[in-house]
Amino acid sequence: DTAVSQTPKYLVTQMGNDKSIKCEQNLGHDTMYWYKQDSKKFLKIMFSYNNKELIINETVPNRFSPKSPDKAHLNLHINSLELGDSAVYFCASSQDNRGNQPQHFGDGTRLSIL
């Protein structure tokens, strides 16, 4: 069984559209994350939620809105998509937010803006 699963794997859409990426973990972890990998393969944190509460928001544009309906799910909604949003988005989870447990990553969602 996949521990951290993201859907969809690929997303191709037009500039200006609104889209969502879903993430679910079945590890029983309390903390979930969204990371962005740019075209140069650099990975950077976007958001972190602990038990459905936002704990990290790394100066991401307001067009990005994470939502955590329960601690097993962290979805990412993006409004008014721009060309610069093209990237691979990774979801991850860890047992807690103390920073001394490994993070487990999903397979990523490749977003392409036309």
Partner 1 sequence: GIQVEQSPPDLILQEGANSTLRCNFSDSVNNLQWFHQNPWGQLINLFYIPSGTKQNGRLSATTVATERYSLLYISSSQTTDSGVYFCAIISSGSARQLTFGSGTQLTVLP
Nearest CB to partner 1, comparing residues 41 and 70:
41
> Is residue 51 near partner 1 by the rule CB under 8 A?
no
Among 33, 75, 78, 89, binds partner 1 (CB under 8 A): 33
Order the strands of the 4-7 sheet from edge to edge: 4-7, 19-25, 73-78, 64-70
Residue 52: burial class (beta carbons within 10 Å; 0-12, 13-18, 19+): middle
Positions in the binding site for partner 1 (CB under 8 A): 31, 33, 35, 41-45, 48, 55-56, 58, 88, 90, 92, 97-105, 107-108, 110
